[in-house]
Structure 1
Amino acid sequence: MSPKGLNTVLNVKLRRELWQMRGQVLAIALVIAGGVGVCVMSLVNYSSLLATRAQYYEQHEFAEVFAPVKRAPRHTLKDIAALPGIARYEGRVEGAAKLEIPGFPDPVSARLVSVPPEGQPDVNRLFIRQGRLPAAGRSQEIAVIGSFAGAHELVLGDQFEAIINGRRQALTITGIVESPEFIYVIPPGGMLPDYQRYGVLWMNRESLESAMDMRGAFNSLVVTLKPGHSAASVIDALDRLLARYGATGAFGRDDQFSHRFLSDELNQLKTMATVFPLIFMSVAMFLLNVVIGRLISTQRDIVAVLKAFGYSNRQIAWHYSKLVIVIAVIGLLAGLGLGLWLGRSLGELYMDYYRFPGLLFRIDPAWVVLLGLMTIVVAWLGAWRAIRQAAALPPAEAMRPEGPARYRVTIVEKLLSGIRFAQPSRMIVRQLSRRPVRTLLSMTGVAMATAIVMVGNFQFDSVSLMVHTQFARVQQQDLSATFIDPVNSAALFGLQRQAGIRYVEERRSVPARLVSGHREWRSAVTGIPSEARLQFVIDSDLQPVPLPREGLLLTDFLADELGVGPGDVLQLELLEGDRRTVMVPVAGITSEFLGVGAYMDLDALNRALGDGPLINQALINLDPDKASEVYNSLRETPGVLGLSIRQAMLDSFYDTLARTFLTFTFFNSLMGGIIAFGVVYNTIRISLAEKGRELASLRVLGYTQNEVAHILLGEVALLLFLGIPLGWLTGQGLALMIVTAMQTELYRVPLTITSQTLGMSALVVVVSAIASGVIAWWRLKRLDLVAVLKTRE
């Protein structure tokens, strides 16, 4: 027969085998599809957000350097324009406002940003969703950011009142806009968005200058750079030029809040696109190795016949390789479709979270090709050992049936000799103990299925712990008030006497640059009173950490970024007041789940700054019945910059971060359930294929169908009993790997695994086993005893 004819025969054989193994093929393909789906989902979102951000930044001239100042005359802009490296610049006025939104009783604050008389600024250009920008000479006109307008259902022409620099003013909406500077909108002192209680407003420059007493001056500078110029050199030049005007230190785009948090999210998506597929593909390799190995072991005589008819070792190896490749391609195509669908769904959710004008839904074709090649190669490697054994099997050896097993009393049987088992149960123990390698492989499959479901679900526990720690354990105040400028701590006595306020506690937050050698971090140092009751620092055991009398207490994430530990000395460059630089020792390290922190005793911080007992934050406990009265009173207080309600922050957490985080987790849990079914189903099907002749023999000898099913399914039950605890241990290790890879500045997911998660992972595997067992029982019922007994060992 010609080589072409030989290949045709092998192709027919391949199609028949795929059809006969369709259940197992589908189960393995689902495992591969799960890994590919998670990878594609992550890559789609990563690629889409990355491309959307890059286009948005470029088209709207997003600034590369930001320089806040106290007050600089506008003629300084000529000197700024002459600095080397600056391409575009915009000197603007920024301020804060307290708003009164009709029908919304909670305190609302806003950030005010000026736009030039001609409309669009040269830097940080605005995307106009509706309407227009405020016109020159019209002090009441504003444009609002889309997130704030959507949260309050504001439309063009709506009006509300604002208190700007202590003066009440009526404002009218002329436009709804987005800005590359505020993709991630964070209130002052916050870590999470709160669209209802914090927004961004744009006013005409002349109007905002007048409202903020900044005529002929600016207090914020944003610039873009010429190609080839570093941000560091421009920052140094700006700091020197603006130092006389109360500059608080220029900084690059990497330190801008919105950009930094978005970058963290993108890095996390990139991590998820690596870690989860690695786990899923490992399971797929294991399954393929077992399934293909079993298939080839049952076709020893067929392999011998093929070689007798002239098929070479290479042709036989290629035949079984094609079987593996077909299964991998089925899983790959299913995973691509599933991943694209999930990626689009998750992308729409991200659009509610990040303020982009629109999402560029895309994925790099090169990544798809690379993923396809990796999937096929990984699948083939999983079955390579069995394929190589088939190709190398000599014809004479292949024609001979496998030698009988050596039957002897095993150690397990000796240990259990005192227990009187029924005969079917005794058979189960013998089967498992006399084939320890096969038993171990089956247990490993069950363990991996359990571990994957755990990995998909443990993050629910972690998010719950994060919420409890941050909003119940650490923050016990009802309301936080931030002052425009530091005030004497004696101001708290006036607040304490106000009706509706039960208790007040002081704090001070100072912007600073923490420097250790070549490493630096722009953050804030928070001064906390030594006897703090409403908000304090806790350790990994959720116990309060006493603040050192001198020195800094750093969170572990910040300490790692700076490469310091207890006893090291940090250079603290303060970015307010006289901007002095002090050397402060690191007195301790602690852990936090949200944000990064540097803490000092309040008295020690004021001494370091050379100030008296100054504060700029007040933490307040309220009488719930008089909360609205307190809100209205503080809203009218000129020195109060903004108010933050703890319950509102909790609601914001669930509406933003937890929503996207848990949605991603749900998709992973769904994939984990699919994989669990695939693993358990294949375990039962392989066991049924291996014991078909034995079970048929037992039926002929008089055993009932239920007794035969007891032997088969009882073996699976014992494997579950042994494999699930092993899966819990494996899952904990995988979960540790994931939480380590997912650490960002915004949050660090704690490793928390509850009994509920353990129970859920076991339940999914057990339910999968029951469903697979029903299928196996049905196949046993239809077992053709004569046909099975005709097959030779």
Structure 2
Amino acid sequence: MRALNRKLLRDLWLMRGMTLAISLVIIGGISTFIMSRVTYESLKLTQTSYYINQRFAEVFVSLVRAPEAAAERFAELPGINQVETRVVAAINIQVEGFDDPITGRIVSLPDFGAPRLNVPYVRRGRLPVAGAGNEVAISEAFADAHRLKPGDRIEVIIRGHRKRLNIVGIVLTPEYMYAIPPGGLFPDYQRYGILWMNRKALATAYNMDGAFNNVVFSLQSDAFERDVIDGIDLILARYGGLGAYSRKDQFSHRFITDELHALEIMATIFPVIFLSVATFLLNIVISRLVSTEREQIATLKAFGYATSQIAMHYVKLIISITSFGIVLGVALGLWFADALCSMYQQLYSFPYLHFILNPAVMSQAVFVTLFAALAGTAFAVRRAAQLPPAEGMRPEPPLNYRATLIERIGLQKHLDEPSRMIIRHIARQPVKAGLTILGIAAACGILMMTNFQRDAINWIIEVQYGLSSREDLTVMFNDPTPYRALYSLGALEGVNNIEGFRSVSARLVHGHRSYRFKVDGIEPGGKLHRILNPSLEAIDIPQEGIILSDYLATEILQIAPGQLLTIEVLEGNRSVFKVPVVGTSRQYLGVNAYMNRSTLNRLMHEGPAISGVRLSVDPEYQINLYHQLRDMPRVAGTIVRDTAIEQFNEMMEKTILWFSFITALLGAFVAFGVVYNSARIAFSERSRELASLRVLGFTRAEVGYILLGEIGLLTLAAIPPGFLVGIGLSSYIAKSFSSDLYRIPMIVVPSTYALAASIVLISFAVTAALIWRQLSRLDLIEVLKTRE
């Protein structure tokens, strides 16, 4: 076997270019798999550990006000483990040197002892001490955004009362890992902060002595969650309960869970694509290597080498080629995973990170890659091992040339001789040409898939903030406010246009399907916030009925226009009414239900009331307007349109687009690997033929044109089907990522097609340069020698 081992080393050296190209594709598959799986498992373990250590609640409920004695009834409910009543208040915050309005939420801490549930994780400093009325802990994201630290002071307005507080601690909590202001879609840590304060001090400031307006629960392991929630709602209905909900519907938890699900999808889709292409390349390389080594295999068998020894020789060759890619792929995948985990830790405010190098993941990656490589080349290895010596000694019969379709219809007169050779060579081996086109098309499709997400995100911004939400500023109130407040705000200097809206917490029910969200009552004929139909045309809100966003209607509630929707209001007098669905709207961020504002007020049995306003503001007066809003006690939150766009772009850059950049880079590896291997194999197969042409008088340029022209023609032919592959993969990604938080539209702009095609063509240009260099060094005498 030592002779075969030496042959193995020589083959690897002679095939070093093709080995590197195949390894690049394997590196892409392995590194994507390792990156996704390690990141997913690390974040999942970190999330679980964080939830357990900080005793993250399992059921949440807000209400208007209930006496502390009402909490004793919770003990009657089976399945409840622990209960924590709290006071939670909306506040305005003032930070020195920052002019924009800042809103936030302040959460009570027990006056004595640690919280039973949702325990803050102290990063710096400490929690407020018992009895301290002016101490507060703040969320780390808010502190970092304003460079606040323990010892600094901030001013807050709680129910119209201004209070100066000392910051004593910087904390984190699983409850507000993804904290968004009221009416917002994305975190804005500069303009929305979470604070923690002693219960007695907060209750006094918020007029909640002896009462609570928020409760969290943990459950026993055998509890029936739905029964517990129904029991809680029954107890708190008389106190203005807004409906209890489980952890799976808690916004921070739900958003992070969806992100982890996306990582799981990535860990499945991308490695399969990369490894499929790598298997395809290996099969071609080994098949053609066997074809060129027929005489060597026959000679080895004639000298007594067994079939199993020859088979093992090619198995070793495959494992050697694959192992190089595996080692580098694992190393690169771990490096990417470390960077990705650090990014997610910062994005979601995990206080620590459990970075797991699970041996099972590594073993799975290695096993799947080796299995795919060996399975894909099994036929070629079997053919090499079973080749009879007498058969192998004979050269392969030449393929028959025949007139191509181009020649049969008389177009050959427009082609020179080298061009006709290219067409004939492709026509006589249609399977080989088809497989080459398929491989290059797969590479082109991968490049399209990894870049279309940027197109989709740009389209989301255009639709959401260019066509639908065109207001400069959205102001949310703490409580429903009389409609006349609209005129007061409209009279402020710098306000050009203003529209009021009523937002009502409700449960939307259709058959056995339900969804807890809100119904927005808007004014007909609004210009600032427009409802878009599926064709992205503005539609007016009808006097009666409700319009649902398309995802809410079709995927969640599965209701069609014309059917009745039951709305169970979770605030005020808790009205229940049925309205017809009169249409659907196109929306990519979140979901919404729209009604006429006056109709919603009537069904709520209330006078003309609004929950907030949308404003168009003159930029010259923005700062003054912010100062006035900051001092208004009824203002619960402000959403600045430009800031929302910045936050959305930042979040996308840190998640989807960062991942897309890595996979696009790996996709470029695939493109080069496929094109280079196709050209290099063609060169090795046709070197004798090309040398013969040189001897017959063809110039080096003509011979190079014959070889590279074939690969170039196949590359050009692969680009259109590559676009189809890219569209199919992109559609699958878009559908897999759809959720009620956001949807990725299937939008591919011309620049993405151009970029994918350009990278493929650049790969061909680099390949052509490398092959031309080898062609220039072709030793005609050596190649044309009679094979011994």
Conserved 8 A contact 1:36-1:277: yes
Is 1:111 aligned to residue 105 of structure 2? yes
Q: Which residue in the other structure is 1:492 paired with?
A: 486
- Residue 218 of structure 1 and its aligned partner are, at CA, apart by 0.6
Distance 2:274 2:172 in 1: 39
Is 1:688 aligned to residue 665 of structure 2? no
Summarize the alignment of residues 215-254 of structure 1 with structure 2, pairs less than 5 Å apart: 215-254=209-248
Distance 1:481 1:591 in 2: 24
Conserved 8 A contact 2:525-2:541: no
Is 1:355 aligned to residue 349 of structure 2? yes
Q: Which residue in the other structure is 1:744 paired with?
A: 739
> CA 1:567 to 1:399, structure 2 compared with 1: closer, same or farther past 3 Å?
farther
Distance 2:786 2:91 in 1: 85
- Give the counterpart of 1:464 among 458, 462, 470: 458
Distance 2:526 2:269 in 1: 41
- Give the counterpart of 1:426 among 410, 417, 420: 420
Q: Which residue in the other structure is 1:397 paired with?
A: 391
Q: 1:14-37, CA deviations, whole angstroms, 9 ceiling, x for partnerless residues?
A: 222222211111111110110111
Conserved 8 A contact 2:412-2:420: no
> CA 1:172 to 1:408, structure 2 compared with 1: closer, same or farther past 3 Å?
same
Distance 1:190 1:721 in 2: 47
Summarize the alignment of residues 170-569 of structure 1 with structure 2, pairs less than 5 Å apart: 170-415=164-409, 417=411, 419-559=413-553, 560-569=555-564
Is 1:668 aligned to residue 663 of structure 2? yes
Distance 1:792 1:725 in 2: 42
- Residue 490 of structure 1 and its aligned partner are, at CA, apart by 2.8
- Residue 475 of structure 1 and its aligned partner are, at CA, apart by 1.1
Distance 2:52 2:786 in 1: 70
Identity of aligned residues (%): 45
> Given residue 425 of structure 1, which amino acid in structure 2 is its aligned partner?
S
Is 1:728 aligned to residue 727 of structure 2? no
Conserved 8 A contact 1:507-1:617: yes
SS at match of 1:379: helix
Summarize the alignment of residues 574-723 of structure 1 with structure 2, pairs less than 5 Å apart: 574-723=569-718
> CA 1:713 to 1:74, structure 2 compared with 1: closer, same or farther past 3 Å?
same
Q: Which residue in the other structure is 1:768 paired with?
A: 763
Distance 2:29 2:409 in 1: 41
Higher mean displacement: 166-175 or 323-332 = 323-332
- Residue 773 of structure 1 and its aligned partner are, at CA, apart by 1.2
Higher mean displacement: 302-311 or 626-635 = 302-311
Q: Give the superposed CA RMSD.
A: 1.7
> CA 1:541 to 1:392, structure 2 compared with 1: closer, same or farther past 3 Å?
farther
> CA 1:114 to 1:711, structure 2 compared with 1: closer, same or farther past 3 Å?
same
- Residue 80 of structure 1 and its aligned partner are, at CA, apart by 1.8
> Given residue 527 of structure 1, which amino acid in structure 2 is its aligned partner?
G
Q: Which residue in the other structure is 1:98 paired with?
A: 92
Higher mean displacement: 586-595 or 339-348 = 586-595
Question: TM-score of the superposition, structure 2-length normalised?
Answer: 0.97
Distance 1:197 1:691 in 2: 68
SS at match of 1:99: strand
Summarize the alignment of residues 122-141 of structure 1 with structure 2, pairs less than 5 Å apart: 122-141=116-135
Conserved 8 A contact 1:463-1:658: no
> Given residue 785 of structure 1, which amino acid in structure 2 is its aligned partner?
L
- Residue 791 of structure 1 and its aligned partner are, at CA, apart by 5.2
> Given residue 190 of structure 1, which amino acid in structure 2 is its aligned partner?
G
Distance 1:425 1:247 in 2: 80
> CA 1:187 to 1:657, structure 2 compared with 1: closer, same or farther past 3 Å?
farther
Question: TM-score of the superposition, structure 1-length normalised?
Answer: 0.96
Distance 2:310 2:727 in 1: 41
- The count of aligned residue pairs is 787
Conserved 8 A contact 1:64-1:231: no
> Given residue 507 of structure 2, which amino acid in structure 1 is its aligned partner?
R
Distance 1:740 1:596 in 2: 16
- Residue 321 of structure 1 and its aligned partner are, at CA, apart by 2.5
SS at match of 1:691: helix
Conserved 8 A contact 1:264-1:745: no
- Residue 792 of structure 1 and its aligned partner are, at CA, apart by 5.0
Distance 2:748 2:391 in 1: 51
Q: Which residue in the other structure is 2:33 paired with?
A: 39
Q: 1:351-394, CA deviations, whole angstroms, 9 ceiling, x for partnerless residues?
A: 22101101111143223222221111111222122223223333
> Given residue 11 of structure 2, which amino acid in structure 1 is its aligned partner?
E
Distance 1:791 1:71 in 2: 98
SS at match of 2:538: coil
- Residue 128 of structure 1 and its aligned partner are, at CA, apart by 0.2
Distance 2:512 2:50 in 1: 32
Distance 2:719 2:500 in 1: 51
Distance 1:54 1:536 in 2: 41
Higher mean displacement: 360-369 or 495-504 = 360-369
- Residue 419 of structure 1 and its aligned partner are, at CA, apart by 4.4
Higher mean displacement: 303-312 or 90-99 = 303-312
Q: 1:246-270, CA deviations, whole angstroms, 9 ceiling, x for partnerless residues?
A: 1111110011010011111010111
- Residue 76 of structure 1 and its aligned partner are, at CA, apart by 2.3
> Given residue 235 of structure 2, which amino acid in structure 1 is its aligned partner?
L
- Residue 54 of structure 1 and its aligned partner are, at CA, apart by 0.1
Distance 1:297 1:785 in 2: 21
Distance 2:413 2:219 in 1: 81
Conserved 8 A contact 1:163-1:169: yes
Conserved 8 A contact 2:297-2:384: yes
